[in-house]
Amino acid sequence: EPYEGKPSRTVLRGEEGSNALDLPDRPSDLQQRDGRGVRAGNEIAKHFAGNNVDVIIYAVEKSLDSYKFNLLHCKQTFISQLKSGAMGARTIDEGAVDEKSGMNFSEYMALLSGNTDLLDKAKLEKRIASLEGERKSFNKGKRDSEFKLESKTGELRNNTAFIDAMTEDWNRFLSVAQTDREGNRLNIIKVDGVDSADEKVIGKRLQEIAKNATTGGLYTQVGELYGFPIKVVSERILKEGLEFTDNRFVVEGNYKYTYNNGHLAMADPMAAARNFLNAMERIPSIIDQYKAKNEVLEREIPQLQEIAGKVWKKEDELKQLKSELAALDRKIQLELAPPTPEVAEKEKEGQQVKPEAEDVRNRQAQYPENAPPQIRSPADSIVANHVIIGRPGLYAKEETRFKGLKI
């Protein structure tokens, strides 16, 4: 019936089922064999077949159909792995049938004859590929654990060295620090060029140094606190596209300690003078941070050592499967190309086998060199009467031998 300016239309009422006599090369083509029968709107299946559709695929037992089904399964598995991001091992795929690395015609004949050796070989190869992938994942995980173990062991060693050095600085500071009646530590600070002990005077001098000092990136001593040198360093920084000189202060022991990232309080001389005492009093909290890190590392390192010391337990199984595969492969090769009884018997006796091809050569000599070709009668077929079966290396040496008819 015409509609919307179209001359005609096709109305699909549905179908009860479909039959497929051959197997496609792509999994998507096999899915398309379901056809329109499984789609919505199949009125025939809905009203006359219980809303069911029979999709029948024919295959011949002990034939190449089993191989093609297996091939379609491998292709669909690989496509699903690509889409899901989970790559696995592929043993038989569409690339294994080419002339360089695939089956030869004798192996196809073995499949068609129902020989199960090739199926067993495929199963062994699949199992071996699975085990090799498992071993690869195991070794990768083991190498990662070894790398983490080495990294965390070095981190633990360095943290322990930091703790020891900082503990030494802290004990040294406690041994020389003075306190008032309330137990507060006194800020006994000395600045070069300042004779006064007043913190306000010292703070103003430190603020002047922070504004005007230029050390060229070198740490320059400007005073001391309880014997610990106080140093300033000038660093070039960019701020809003302009270059500025940033002066930072540290108090030096086994390590350089800072408070407020080495910047002085420019609005309060008293706070500027107490910057270095505050830096020294931060040492215990820094030590506690490193100790907390070491506690975590000490729990993780034994676990990593256990993982790094593991041995893959399926190595013997993999070697056994490879041996079975090699033996099965030799068996298949022997079955595909068995020697003929006559040749095998003569070779065992040490004799040379010489095909009887003299009749062909004598028959060729009966015709002149430039004679036109003749039509041979069906009863005198050259294919039927002159089929030569030979093996390389079995011809007798003849000095006057000439080439006969090539079949």
How much is the average pLDDT of 38-50? 74
> Residue 8: pLDDT band by 50, 70, 90 thresholds?
very low
284-290: long-range contacts (C-beta < 8 A, 24 or more apart)?
A: 284/170, 286/166, 287/163, 287/166, 287/167, 287/170, 290/159, 290/162, 290/163, 290/166
Question: What count of residues does the chain have?
Answer: 407
> Residue 35: pLDDT band by 50, 70, 90 thresholds?
low
Q: Can you name the residues that pair with 237 across neighbouring β-strands?
A: 244
CA atoms within 13 A on the CB side of 154: 5
**Per-residue model confidence (pLDDT) at position 405:** 52
> Residue 356: pLDDT band by 50, 70, 90 thresholds?
very low
Of 160, 183, 187, 161, which Cα lies nearest the Cα of 280? 187
Burial 391-403 (b: 16+ CB within 10 A, else e): eeeeeeeeeeeee
**Per-residue model confidence (pLDDT) at position 4:** 52
Range in 12-21, 49-58, 298-307 with the lowest mean pLDDT: 12-21
**Per-residue model confidence (pLDDT) at position 230:** 93
Maximal CA-CA distance, the chain: 138
Using left for φ > 0, alpha for ψ between -120 and 50, and beta otherwise, residue 237 falls in: beta
pLDDT at 259 over 70: yes
Q: What is the phi/psi pair of residue 112, to 5°?
A: -65, -30
- Asked if 232 contacts 245 with a C-beta cutoff of 8 angstroms, the reply is no
pTM above 0.85, yes or no: no
Range in 148-157, 185-194, 368-377 with the lowest mean pLDDT: 368-377
Report which of residues 15 and 94 the model is more confident about.
Answer: 15
Give the number of other Cβ atoms within 10 Å of residue 199's Cβ.
Answer: 17
DSSP letters of 84-102? HT-----SS-GGGGSTTTS
pLDDT at 225 over 70: yes
pLDDT at 279 over 90: yes
Q: Can you name the residues that pair with 189 across neighbouring β-strands?
A: 225
Q: What is the dihedral of CA 77, 80, 82, 83, to 10 degrees?
A: 180
Distance CA 368, CA 310 (A): 82
pLDDT at 244 over 80: yes
* pLDDT, tens digit (0-9, with 9 covering 90-100), for 94-147: 334 444 444 544 455 455 556 667 767 878 888 899 999 999 999 999 999 999
Distance CA 336, CA 402 (A): 33
What the block records as the tokens of 153 is 């062991």
> Residue 16: pLDDT band by 50, 70, 90 thresholds?
low
> Residue 248: pLDDT band by 50, 70, 90 thresholds?
very high
End-to-end CA distance of the chain: 66
SS3 content of the chain, % helix, strand, coil (to 5): 50, 10, 35
**Per-residue model confidence (pLDDT) at position 333:** 82
Number of H helices, E strands in the chain: 13, 7
